[in-house]
Structure 1
Amino acid sequence: MSTTPAVWLALLAAALFGASTPFVKLLIGDGSALALAGLLYLGSGLGLAAARLLRDRGWQASGLSGADWRWFGGAIGFGGVLGPLLLVVGLGRTGAGTASLLLNLEAVLTAVLAWLVFREHAGRRIVAGMGFIVAGGIALSWQNGEAGRGDWIGPAAIMGACLCWAIDNNLTRKVSASDAVFIASAKGLVAGAVNLGLALVLGQALPAWPLAGMTMSVGLLGYGLSLVFFVRALRELGTSRTGAYFSTAPFVGAAVSIALLGESTPPPFWIAAVLMGVGVWLHLTETHEHEHAHDALEHTHAHIHDEHHQHSHDPGWDGREPHTHPHHHMPLKHSHDHFPDIHHRHGH
């Protein structure tokens, strides 16, 4: 299967998120991790909301239907509320090395839910690629390998957070045809409010305004713009493939730390580089072609007039592509190379 722009969007999302980690380490110092997380998310939400207002020259409807709002509400609830809450509980009872290893579960759980619950197709090459990428993440985390401290509640809470984010990823895929900037800004605003609210309830101090402003700027790029690219990749690639590419984020973070902070390059870094490289290569060289049927469908998303979008326009259409409007797909049966995107969510 030829590489699509969506693959590079997924990798760019991972790069932005991974590259933000070293800067977050520099910003946090001895401050509150919870308050920092709130400012990162809030910077993402406010920045993207402002960008959307400028882009659309005012407030525009989100384009989500009634059913979409249920999926999106679930995604925000799991990813923006429960996930951060469980992570805070878990980090307070778990050592850093153990926590890093456990956080690799997000990619695994995302893929398992996509395959078993949401019936997204994945061939052996995709499963093997996911295995290599996750193994690379484990190798990268292993250099922190300390024994966990505390009791079973901490690791269980972190695993619960990973499950919440896995559910979030799969539910977000259900609304990924909608405006990615709106989706990312809404998630950022909710997650920012929840994390800051938790910080204040726990009596944690907020940083001074200059530091808060820098933190929010990092959040806009590393959390906000990254999520916009992630949602757009979900639209074209499906959940498990996008999640696998995004799992390369820790490697990017480690590479940036080495370049900017002068950190060492222990053997696990190079082992992770090889394992993740093999995993990404397996995904990039995937082929999946068979005869499949498209049912009649009506939805709204940005598109060009390709073989899946053969419809007429009103006389006033200016001919620009891509463009966004409600459109109807007629039933169609054909065969071509494809990903499990918003037009190819069929059984096998």
Structure 2
Amino acid sequence: MRRTGIPFALLSALLFGASTPMAKLLLGSIDPQMTAGLLYLGAGIGLGCARLARGLLGHRAAEAPLRRGDLPWLGLVILTGGLAGPLLLMLGLARTDASTASLLLNLEGLATMAIAWIVFRENVDRRLLAGAFAILAGAALLSYGGEGAARARLNLGSVWIAGACLCWGIDNNLTRRLSAADPVQLAMLKGLVAGAVNVVLALLHGVPLPDPRLLAMAALVGFLGYGVSLALYVLALRHLGAARTGAYFSLAPFVGAMLALVLLRDPVSTILLTAGALMAIGLWLHLSERHEHDHLHDEMEHEHSHRHDEHHRHAHPPGVQPGEPHTHPHRHARLWHRHAHYPDLHHRHGHHRHHLSQETH
């Protein structure tokens, strides 16, 4: 679980982090709402082409499809993460240099963790809290800019970016409920719907489409930085839960900040370096966490891609394709055991005081 989920989260972070300075370059020539729409539309169309090519080649993904009961959650995911989040980010990027904006995106991980802990009751410990406060302190430093009296004013671009992070924090926790389904299908639908809506709204406001060269660049950045990244993020959610995936995804802002310093020649300031150091400490605290205790698996039935590991000891109904991984509805019997784990699809249990006393970090 740990070997599988963490690489997905880190690769997702690398792709999304690299997209931030590239989006900043696009904003020099494209309206913010049009940019947000094109990025997500590129993600949706790119993943749709990938699914089509996979089908034509005869490669079937061993993934559970989205069901009718998933549609309300998918609608909320598209609204918060596909429409509001990217639009607020583009508005913020237009008013903030790319390196500062990239580091401020650490607030997405913090928002994801806070919502997971407070609303969805994922377990939390002192190490994770200390890391979250370090990230918050770094973000607070970056939210104030300028010289003299201007330093005391909150930068409006930072407010927009913080709003985007809150939207994506909500989105990430809602997406966790869908993480058993096909991640490519989920990311494709989100990209197509959210991208089309933002592009149409921009056109209705009189914003013209960019020239073909910029259009192709936006589509490529969207496909990699939003489409592929989101599919990997969903896989990470499946294995790590929302809070831990958000913690590992905190690598993305550092990738974006470093690229911005190299590609866009953003100035290196004391505030930027201090904030980066605080956020790096927070990320290290999250990456070094280990969670282990005796725990009980209640009976449950669900559907997702799986192999026959220690949590999947079941018979197959007729018609299930041979080979692994595969997907079909299956039932889990009650099981009591102990091993290192995260709040994945099979570990969403409560934590009582006697459990917490047995955790190791």
Q: TM-score range by the shorter chain?
A: 0.7 to 0.9
1:122 aligns with 2:124: yes
Output one character per residue of 1:158-205: Cα deviation in whole Å (capped at 9) or x when no partner. Answer: 655443322211110011111111111111112211211221121111
1:50 aligns with 2:49: yes
What does residue 312 of structure 1 align with? 315
Shift, 1:86, TM fit? 5.6
Shift of 1:266: 3.1
Quickly say closer, same or farther: Cα 1:81–1:254, change in 2 above 3 A. closer
For 1:150 and 1:346, the matched residues in 2 are separated by 40
Give the distance between the partners of 1:263 and 1:151, measured in 2 at CA.
Answer: 17
1:330 aligns with 2:340: no
Equivalent residues in 2 for 1:244-283, closer than 5 Å: 244-283=247-286
Q: Is the 8 A contact 1:95 1:147 kept in 2?
A: no
Worse-superposed segment, 54-63 or 10-19: 54-63
- How far is the alpha carbon of 1:85 from its aligned partner? 5.4
Aligned 8 A contact 2:176 2:242 in 1: yes
In the other structure, the counterpart of 1:217 is 220
* Pair 1:248–1:144, CA change in 2 (3 A): farther
Name the aligned partner's letter for residue 77 of structure 1: L
Number of residues of Structure 1 aligned to a counterpart in Structure 2:
343
For 1:1-348, list aligned pairs within 5 A.
Answer: 3-57=2-56, 63-84=65-86, 91=92, 95-96=95-96, 100=101, 105-139=107-141, 160-313=163-316, 320-348=323-351
Moved more, 32-41 or 315-324: 315-324
Distance 1:238-1:228 versus aligned 2 partners, 3 A rule: same
The whole-number CA distance in structure 2 between the counterparts of 1:151 and 1:129 is 24
Q: What are the superposed Cα offsets for residues 205-240 of structure 1, whole Å, 9 maximum, x if unpaired? A: 110112101210111001111111111111111111
| Cα RMSD for the two superposed structures | 3.3
| Structure-1-length-normalised TM-score | 0.85
> What is the CA-CA distance between 1:33 and the residue it aligns to?
1.7
Shift of 1:87: 5.8
Q: 1:179 to 1:144 in 2, by over 3 A?
A: farther
Identity fraction in percent: 52
Closer/same/farther in 2, CA of residues 5 and 265 from structure 1, 3 Å limit: farther
Measured in 2, the distance between the counterparts of 1:341 and 1:321 equals 20
Aligned amino acid, residue 96 of structure 1: T
State the shift of 1:321 in Å. 2.6
Q: Which amino acid aligns with 2:55?
A: D
Secondary structure of 2:66's aligned partner: coil
Q: Which has the higher mean CA deviation after the structures are superposed, 31-40 or 177-186?
A: 31-40
Alpha-carbon distance in structure 2 between the residues aligned to 1:232 and 1:311: 23
- Tell me, yes or no, if the aligned pair for 2:145 and 2:151 is still in contact at 8 Å: no
For 1:75, the aligned partner's letter is V
Letter in 1 for 2:96: A
Contact kept, 8 Å, 1:134 with 1:247, in 2: the verdict is: no
Which stretch shows the higher mean deviation, 59-68 or 218-227? 59-68
8 Å CA contact retained: 1:137, 1:251: no
Within 2, Cα distance between the matches of 1:95 and 1:149? 14
Shift in CA distance, 17/5, structure 1 to aligned 2, threshold 3 Å? same
Unaligned regions of 5+ residues in structure 2, if any?
Answer: 352-361
Determine helix, strand or coil for the equivalent of 2:70. helix
Q: CA deviation at 1:9?
A: 1.6
